[in-house]
Structure formats: C-alpha cells, structure tokens
C-alpha cells in the first residue's frame, strides 16, 4: 500500500515538471543552485560550492547540530530548464537558491523569489538593472556590471578616446550593461557611437559576426568593446583577425569573460596571436592568506581539470554567506517552516499542475535581512553590503594580453579610480580622482607601444568633402582663384597650414558652396555639415551660439566682432578754429586762473617789489601784463619774495601743460577729418530710426533683430564693399554693421568712413565639423601651434593687413576741464596757502608797528582796518624806517626824562641844605 502511494506521489511530481526530489530532514538545511554546469564558470563554481559545503559541515562552530545540503540543477543553457529547476526547489523546502547564472533568468526568477520569499543569490547575473527595490529577494554577491562599465569608461577617458563601438549579446545579460556603458561614457564626455547587437550565444552565426564587424570597420571609431559570452567573444576576435581589424590603429577592450578564459583554460597559441594587445578586466581579489591557501587546495579539488577564476572564489564565499545567515537565523530562534499560498490553492484552470507544492518560506524575510547584514572576511576579502545591496569596494584588475599571458597594467576601484597600486592599499586614504590616475604602458594590437589614435576616416578612406563658401565680395577672406586656377585666401591658407601639422594623412576635397554672384548663407552651410552633406566647412565662419548647437568648431584662428561704420567729412578751417581745442568751460576757468595768478603775485610782491608799485592804473596794467606774459614765459618782472617765487613756479608748470595740450589738439583739429554723423556707437544707432546696412549672409542680421530688437524694416542687405561706399555716401543708410575683419578691408580703400564705438560682440572665425568629430580637436591643436610659432600672424598680415586711414577724431575729443582739474586744484591750494602765510606775517609786522597803547575813545574797527591797509600798501623799506625812528624817539624821550628827574632831585637837596 505504501509503495502504491509513493508511486502516485512520484507521478504527480513528474506531471508537474519536477525532475528530482530533495528530501528535507530535521537536521538538514537544504539550499539549491542553478548553473550551466558545462560552462567555464559553471565547472569552477560547482567545485567551489561543494568545497564550501564540505568545509561548513566539518566546522563545529557554525550550524551546530545542522547539516547543510546543496543540490545543483543544470540549466544546460536553457531558460526553460532554469525555471523548472527553480520550481523544483520551491517544492522541496529549499531556503535559499544560488543562481541563476544568467541575468535573463534572474529577471524571471526574481518574481518567484519575491512571491515565495526565498532569497536568490548570484555572483554571475550582474545586470545593473536588477534593482533591489523591485527584486528585494535577489542579491548580487559580486560587483555588478555598473562598476565594470564604469571602469571601462574611465579607461577610455584616460587614454583620450571620444568614440566607442560595442559588440554585445542582445539579451538582458549584456544589453542593459551596454546601455550603462553609454551613460558612463557620456559622463566622461565620450560617446557610444555604435552598438552591434548579436543574437544570443546559441543562435548567433559566424556570418552575423562578420556582417557587424564589416559595419564597424567602415566607421570612424577604432575603439571596440566586446561584451559577450566567451565562445562568441573568441569568434569575434577570430573574425576580426581575418578582416584585418587586429592590426595597428585598433583598440580592443574585452569584458571579464576574456580574463575568465585566461585564468581557467588558458589561451592557445592560435588565439594568442589573434588577441595580441587586447585589454580586459578581471574582478580584483586581494592577495590574502585565505586566498593563497585555497589556491593551493584547488589543484587537488579540481584534479587539474580546470583553473581557478575569481567567480569560483565568489561561489565559495556565497555559500559561506548563506551558512552564516542561517546560523544567525537559528541562534535567534528561527525555525524552517513553509506556508501554503492561498492564491495558488484556489487558482482555476491549473488542473494537472501541482501548484500546492509551492509554499512560502516563513523565515524568508529574516534570512534575507541576515544575508544583507553579512560582515565577514572571505576568500574575496572583506564582504558586506552597502545600503543599496551592492557589495563594498568594487574593483577590477586591468589586464593587457601579450602573447598567451595577461600583464596587469593597474587597477580600477570605485574609491580611487585608475591606479598602479592595489585598491586595498588606498581604501584608508581619502578618495582622490583628480590626480594619480595612472596605468602602466600598454602593448597595443600590432605589437606596438605607440597609443593608437582611436579613429580613422569613415567610408574606407573616402576624401573628406569640405564645403567652401564661394563669396562674391571680400574674396580675400576665403576664396581667390589665381592664374593657375588654384584656390587661395586667408581662411584657406590657415586650413592648409594647419592640416600639414596633423600627424596623419587627411584626404580631402573642396566643394564650392554658392553661385559666386552673391554671398551664400553661412547658417545654411553650417547646417549642411550637421546633416552630413559636408564633412567639414572651411571659411570665414563666425562662431556664434546658434551654430555651436549643431556643429563643433575648432579653436578660433582670428578674433572678430561686430562694429559700426559711419561716413565722415572734413571740417573747413574757420576763422575761429583756434577756439576748438578747449571746451567753453575750459576757456572760462583758464582765464579766471590767469587773473588769479596776477592778483596773488601782486599781493605777495607789492610791499617788496618796485615793479608792482605805483599809481593804481599803472599797477592794474602791470597785473594784466604779468598775467598774460606768463603764457609765453616772457614776463619781465623779477620775483623778490619766496612765496611769490613758489607760486610762480607752480603756475608756470600749469601753463606748460595747458599750452602743450592746446598746441597738440589744435594741430589735430586743423589736419584731420571729423565725423559728420551724430552716431557714436551701437547704442546711439539703435535709438535712432535711421536705416542700417549689413552684409548678405552675415549673422549680423539675426543678431540685430533678435538681440537688439531692431525692426527688420530698418535693415538693408548689401552685397559688396562698393555698395557699402555707395549707400553710405548717398545717405541711404546711416551706418553699416559688419564684422571687424571685413570692415578693416573696406576702410583700407575708403577713408571717407570711420568705425565708431567699440566692438559690441566678441567672437571669432573657425572651421566647422560634425558633432564629436575627433578631427576638430586635432585641428584646434594645429591652429594653436600655428599661433605659438607666429605662422598664423604671418598669414593674417599677408591677407588682411592693408594701409589704414589716419585715426579720426571728433568734437568729443575736445580737451575737457576734467583733464586739468588736478593741476588747477594744486595751483589753487598753493595760492591759498601762500596768501595765508603772507597775511599772518603781515599781521605780526603790523602788531610791531602799532604796539603803543592809544586812547580807547579813538580806537574803532574801521580805523584799525584803514591803518592795516595803509600799512600793507606801504613799501616794506618805509615801514622799517618808520619803526626805526619810532624806536629811537622813544629811547631819547626816556633818557631826557631821567636827566630831568636827576636835576630836580639835586635842586631839592640844595634847597634843603640851605634851609
């Protein structure tokens, strides 16, 4: 009877698609693994996981009283068999599953894990789009491909490449990683220019690989990333070798699949010649004692059948991670139990399917939490998880394939970027990506150490079609055909000189753009470059905002900017032209100071100098004569006072500056031409209602309409310098607005016009190339070299340097009072100080002359003032004589009074004696 029941149970399991049964015992904890056991990673991982289970079961310090049981299901490259294996484990009370090996199945089985709360752990399904928010029960125990693609992007940026092509398998295992690579390249200002998608490994054919490589060979980029399974990857390199794509000039980067082949089965001599110079990555494993001991054990464990690769170490650590999480689970009182899912029990339309056997792991949430709280040191080094469920310290070895060996060039880590030092030595230091980014020298394809350029001209060397504007005017700037029908011009000569400095041949041909009867639209020319009608555009193309949005420009080879040109006229030499150098205010102030100097000198010299004395009329004439004679430094009066000499010295210096400036300004006014327009620059031009001329095809029209808000009705297109002169001379336009180089050429033969104001835009001329063109960068470098050597200036002088008209001036160039205010201020202060000192001295002298006490009734303010003025008017010599006589008289009076007093005393004494 029991045998019958057992047969019925087995039959039900067979119907439900279950191929094997895992019996759970009370002292046994069941975990499962889903692998493609015949792959390199599958073979290594199988040995490593079984070894880990044996080590755990023999360790009494973990899972005390429990025994870990591992069942490995072979998916055999089949997604369907992977699902069957997962269902089998869900029916067999398995508490954790290691796998699947492929990200394709990880996306599917993660939904099963979420539903039944059984953790899935994988060290090979590393698709970065497997979000822990969407799939919380799927845990990646190795660095996912986000970090591998970051490492590749940083390598490409380090070597200075800008465009990359990628060959990949078109499934979830690789597609999402390539999209991530594109994002990381964009962050480095690089570009994933082409994605060659191949069918999945079992479906791809050699012809498919051949066709994609032929497409890549016809493109510019020579930097190629190969992200496939190992079998397809080897076929890619073999086909590339036949197509001549493994030679000098190419850069090949293979993802970790190539290092896995190298570590596990080695590179045959045939494949070694094919993959010479290829760069690849390997997950970095710190060199620890645990790792070295396991490597020694590996030969015995594998019987020499296969070499150990990093994924074997991750497989071993993953099993230990599960064991430690279970150990913590049991120590916290957890018990393994499963509950039926009510939604599956009552599900209709599932007759014949044993869905009731699929049960929810009651302790799944706690076990998942324990797994994410892992903190252990395994064969791969320290192992725990970041808050986003990614493993800590993701890092890779960067390997160069040389012969049948792999040379380690350096390392990449998320902490320090590229370095020749192992990442574990840098973790204790602050992250620093701005410097110390370094790798060892590389042996590139073609067995050369010279770094490849990374790109070639597309279409198998077809000459570049370079658009050349065929101008009707100002032909010096671009195209002028000489007698031998050769094309020359300023821009052409700069291009030809720069192209010679490019360190590789650049085939090109000029294609004329325009009919030669009118200037073509430069915006349209630039758009043709953007739409790949032309491969480049060479000419006097202004670098403006709208154009930089669609193409890349080289370094400007000449500065440019919009300027305003107006007509001028020559002013007739009128009778009163000599008044023009100074403004009216300047004349008035200068005249006032001439009077001031005369008055001040008269005051300071009047008491000392006979030249400044006499009748009032004579003194007035003397003041006026002295004042104006100083203008010519011809004054005859001598200065006797120290203060007078000081003031005169300062004044003569002021007169020297004023007369020199006056002479220079008058000379300029009488010999140069003057503006006949009130326009002084772009501001005054905009404020008027006058018409404005501009060159046909120039960006000046859009700039004035869009930026300056000038109505289009005020703008008049002009096609040649002759039209410029004609319209300006006839007054049809009040001004011309055009770029400075054109205007300089125009004015070299038309001195009747003049630039007013300053350049009101700042730009330059450059050559246009399609976006992200590497040739634009090399041409910019060549232009800078021309500038540094002086060759660019020679070309500019040869084509654009012409005779120039004399610098013009205008009434606004009159000498203003502000220009001399400092001089006048110094002289004024000197006069005030001299007068103050003089009057202090006068007051002191006046006090000496009138020191006797007087009758208070006779003192009054007006009398004292009259006495002071009278004293000041006296000659100093007279005042001194009066003071001398006064002192002598006082002395004699004092002596007479003493004699009289003595005589009177004698008489009194005589009378006393007589009595």
The residue that leads in pLDDT, 379 or 851, is 379
pLDDT in tens, 307-332: 999 999 999 999 999 999 999 999 98
Decide: 540 and 477 in contact? Cβ < 8 Å: yes
Q: What is the DSSP letter of 584?
A: H
Kindly report the CATH class assigned to 145-290+393-425. alpha beta
Q: Which of 277-291, 414-428, 815-829, 894-908 has the lowest mean pLDDT?
A: 894-908
**pLDDT score, position 609:** 62
Instruction: Please check the confidence at residue 607 and state whether its pLDDT lies above 80.
Output: no
Coil, strand or helix at 888: helix
Decide: 213 and 250 in contact? Cβ < 8 Å: no
pLDDT above 90: percentage of residues in the chain: 40
- pLDDT band for 1, please (50, 70, 90 cuts): very low
- pLDDT band for 32, please (50, 70, 90 cuts): very high
Architecture in CATH for domain 28-142+301-383: 3-Layer(aba) Sandwich (3.40)
Task: Please state the pTM of the whole predicted model.
Answer: 0.67
Q: Which of 124-133, 510-519, 697-706, 817-826 has the lowest mean pLDDT?
A: 817-826
The residue that leads in pLDDT, 51 or 659, is 51
Instruction: Please check the confidence at residue 6 and state whether its pLDDT lies above 60.
Output: no
Instruction: Please check the confidence at residue 25 and state whether its pLDDT lies above 50.
Output: no
In the chain, what is the straight-line distance between the N-terminal and C-terminal CA atoms, in Å?
A: 196
Decide: 547 and 723 in contact? Cβ < 8 Å: no
pLDDT in tens, 416-426: 899 999 999 88
CA-to-CA dists, residue 438 to 149, 162, 406, 706, angstroms: 18, 19, 18, 49
pLDDT in tens, 173-200: 899 999 999 999 999 989 898 999 998 8
What is the per-residue burial (b if ≥16 Cβ within 10 Å, else e) of 751-782? eebbbbbebbbebbbbbbbbeebbbbbbbbbb
Instruction: Please check the confidence at residue 146 and state whether its pLDDT lies above 50.
Output: yes
**Cβ neighbours of residue 1 closer than 8 Å, sequence gap 6 or more:** none
Alpha-carbon distance of 532 to 541, in angstroms, equals 17
Q: What is the DSSP letter of 858?
A: G
Average pLDDT over residues 469-479: 79
pLDDT in tens, 886-914: 666 666 665 665 556 666 666 656 665 56
Alpha-carbon distance of 836 to 830, in angstroms, equals 10
pLDDT above 70: percentage of residues in the chain: 79
pLDDT in tens, 744-755: 888 888 888 888
Decide: 437 and 409 in contact? Cβ < 8 Å: no
Instruction: Please check the confidence at residue 245 and state whether its pLDDT lies above 80.
Output: yes
Instruction: Please check the confidence at residue 11 and state whether its pLDDT lies above 80.
Output: no
- pLDDT band for 79, please (50, 70, 90 cuts): confident
Average pLDDT over residues 193-217: 89
**pLDDT score, position 653:** 78
- pLDDT band for 14, please (50, 70, 90 cuts): very low
CA-to-CA dists, residue 65 to 52, 56, 115, 513, angstroms: 18, 12, 30, 87
Sketch the domain layout of the chain as residue ranges.
Answer: 28-142+301-383, 145-290+393-425, 464-556, 565-570+676-762, 577-671
CA-to-CA dists, residue 6 to 12, 21, 26, 84, 619, angstroms: 10, 12, 21, 22, 149
Alpha-carbon distance of 342 to 246, in angstroms, equals 60
Q: Comparing C-alpha atoms, which of 516, 498, 517, 514 is closest to residue 506?
A: 498
Instruction: Please check the confidence at residue 389 and state whether its pLDDT lies above 80.
Output: yes
pLDDT in tens, 612-631: 666 777 677 777 777 767 76
Mean pLDDT score of the chain, rounded to an integer? 82
Superfamily of domain 565-570+676-762: Periplasmic binding protein-like II (3.40.190.10)
**pLDDT score, position 531:** 92
- pLDDT band for 4, please (50, 70, 90 cuts): very low
**pLDDT score, position 444:** 95
Q: Using CA of residue 807, residue 811, residue 814, residue 816, what is the dihedral sign? A: negative
Structure tokens at 585: 């205010």
Architecture in CATH for domain 464-556: 3-Layer(aba) Sandwich (3.40)
The residue that leads in pLDDT, 801 or 707, is 707
Structure tokens at 576: 């009163």
Instruction: Please check the confidence at residue 2 and state whether its pLDDT lies above 50.
Output: no
Decide: 528 and 467 in contact? Cβ < 8 Å: yes
Phi and psi of 612, rounded to 5°?
A: -110, 30
Same topology, domains 28-142+301-383 and 145-290+393-425? Answer is yes
**pLDDT score, position 404:** 87
pLDDT in tens, 333-385: 888 888 877 666 555 545 545 555 678 898 999 999 999 999 999 999 999 99
- pLDDT band for 505, please (50, 70, 90 cuts): confident
Alpha-carbon distance of 106 to 124, in angstroms, equals 10
**Cβ neighbours of residue 633 closer than 8 Å, sequence gap 6 or more:** 652, 655
Report cis status (omega within 30 of 0) of the bond before 317.
Answer: no
Exposed / middle / buried, residue 811 (Cβ in 10 Å: 0-12, 13-18, 19+): exposed
Q: Which of 238-242, 284-288, 426-430, 579-583 has the lowest mean pLDDT?
A: 579-583
Decide: 534 and 467 in contact? Cβ < 8 Å: yes
């Amino acid at each position: 009877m029991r045998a019958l029941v057992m047969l019925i149970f087995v039959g039900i399991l067979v119907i439900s698609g279950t191929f094997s049964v895992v019996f759970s015992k009370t002292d046994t904890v069941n975990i499962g693994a889903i692998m493609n056991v015949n792959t390199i990673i599958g073979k290594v991982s199988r040995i490593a996981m079984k070894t880990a289970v044996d080590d755990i079961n023999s360790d009494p310090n973990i899972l005390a009283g429990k025994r870990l049981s591992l069942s490995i299901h072979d998916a055999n490259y089949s997604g369907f068999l992977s699902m069957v294996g997962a269902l089998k484990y869900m029916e067999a009370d398995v508490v954790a599953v290691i796998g699947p090996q492929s990200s394709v199945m990880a996306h599917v089985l993660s939904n099963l894990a979420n539903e039944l709360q059984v953790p899935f752990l994988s060290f090979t399904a590393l698709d970065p789009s497997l979000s822990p928010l969407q799939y919380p029960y799927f845990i990646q125990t190795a660095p996912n491909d986000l970090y591998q693609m970051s490492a590749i992007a940083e390598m490409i940026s380090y070597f200075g490449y800008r465009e990359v092509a990628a060959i990949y398998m078109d499934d979830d295992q690789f597609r999402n990683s390539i999209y991530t690579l594109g994002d990381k390249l964009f962050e480095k200002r690089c570009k994933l220019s082409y994605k060659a998608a191949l069918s999945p490994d079992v479906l791809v054919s050699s012809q498919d690989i051949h066709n994609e490589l032929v497409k890549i060979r016809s493109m510019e980029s020579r930097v190629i990333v190969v992200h496939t399974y190992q079998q397809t990857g080897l076929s890619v390199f073999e086909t590339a070798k036949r197509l001549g794509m493994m030679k000098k000039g190419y850069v090949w980067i293979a993802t970790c699949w190539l290092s896995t082949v190298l570590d596990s089965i080695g590179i045959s001599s045939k494949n070694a010649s094919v993959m010479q110079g290829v760069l690849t990555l390997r997950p970095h494993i710190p060199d620890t004692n645990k790792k070295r001991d396991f490597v020694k054990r590996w030969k015995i464990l594998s019987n020499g059948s296969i070499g150990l690769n990093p994924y074997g170490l991750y497989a071993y650590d993953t099993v230990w991670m599960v064991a430690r999480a279970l150990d913590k689970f049991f120590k916290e009182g957890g018990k393994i139990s499963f509950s039926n899912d009510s939604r599956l029990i009552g599900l209709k339309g599932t007759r014949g399917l044993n869905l009731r056997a699929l049960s929810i792991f009651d302790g799944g949430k706690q076990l998942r939490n324990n797994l994410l709280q892992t903190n252990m040191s395994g064969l791969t080094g320290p192992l725990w998880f970041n808050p986003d469920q990614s493993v800590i310290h993701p890092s890779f070895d960067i390997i160069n394939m040389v012969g049948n060996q792999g040379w380690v060039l350096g390392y990449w880590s998320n902490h320090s970027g590229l370095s020749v030092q192992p990442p574990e030595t840098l973790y204790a230091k602050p992250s620093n990506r701005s410097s110390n980014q370094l790798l060892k020298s590389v042996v590139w394809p073609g067995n050369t150490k010279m770094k490849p350029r990374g790109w070639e001209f597309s279409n198998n060397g077809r000459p570049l079609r370079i658009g050349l504007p065929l101008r009707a005017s100002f032909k010096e700037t671009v195209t002028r055909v000489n007698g031998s029908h050769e094309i020359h011009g300023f821009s052409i000569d700069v291009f030809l000189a720069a192209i010679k400095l490019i360190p590789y041949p650049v085939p090109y041909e000029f294609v004329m753009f325009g009919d030669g009867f009118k200037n073509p639209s430069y915006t349209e020319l630039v758009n043709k470059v953007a739409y790949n009608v032309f491969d480049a555009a060479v000419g006097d193309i202004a670098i403006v905002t709208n154009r930089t949005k669609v193409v890349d420009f080289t370094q400007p080879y000449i500065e440019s900017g919009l300027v305003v040109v107006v007509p001028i006229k020559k002013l007739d030499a009128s009778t009163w032209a000599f008044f023009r150098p100074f403004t009216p205010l300047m004349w008035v102030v200068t005249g006032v100071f001439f009077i001031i100097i005369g008055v001040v000198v008269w005051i300071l010299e009047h008491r000392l100098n006979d030249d400044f004395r006499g009748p009032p009329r004579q003194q007035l004439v003397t003041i006026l004569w002295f004042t104006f004679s100083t203008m010519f430094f011809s004054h005859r009066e001598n200065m006797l006072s120290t203060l007078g000499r000081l003031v005169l010295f300062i004044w003569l210096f002021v007169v020297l500056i004023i007369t020199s400036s006056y002479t220079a300004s008058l000379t300029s006014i009488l010999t140069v031409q003057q503006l006949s327009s009130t326009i002084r620059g772009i501001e005054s031009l905009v404020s008027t209602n006058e018409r404005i001329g501009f060159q046909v095809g120039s960006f000046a029209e859009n700039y004035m309409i869009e930026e300056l808000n000038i109505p289009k009705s005020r703008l008049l297109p002009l096609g040649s310098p002759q039209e410029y002169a004609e319209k300006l001379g006839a007054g049809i336009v009040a001004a011309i607005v055009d770029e400075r180089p054109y205007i300089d050429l125009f004015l070299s033969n038309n001195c009747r016009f003049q630039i007013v104001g300053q350049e009101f835009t700042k730009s330059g001329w450059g050559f246009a190339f399609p976006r992200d063109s590497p040739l634009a960068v090399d041409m910019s470098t060549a232009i800078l070299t021309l500038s540094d050597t002086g060759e660019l200036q020679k070309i500019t002088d040869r084509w654009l340097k012409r005779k120039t008209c004399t610098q013009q001036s205008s009434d606004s160039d009159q000498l203003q009072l502000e220009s001399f205010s400092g001089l006048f201020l110094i002289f004024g202060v000197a006069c005030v100080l001299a007068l103050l000192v003089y009057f202090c001295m006068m007051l002191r002298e006046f006090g000496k002359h009138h020191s006797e006490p007087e009758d208070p009734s006779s003192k009054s303010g007006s009398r004292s003032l009259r006495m002071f003025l009278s004293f000041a008017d006296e000659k100093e010599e007279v005042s001194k004589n009066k003071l001398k006589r006064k002192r002598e008289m006082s002395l004699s009076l004092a002596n007479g009074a003493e004699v009289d007093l003595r005589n009177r005393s004698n008489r009194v004494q005589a009378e006393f004696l007589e009595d």
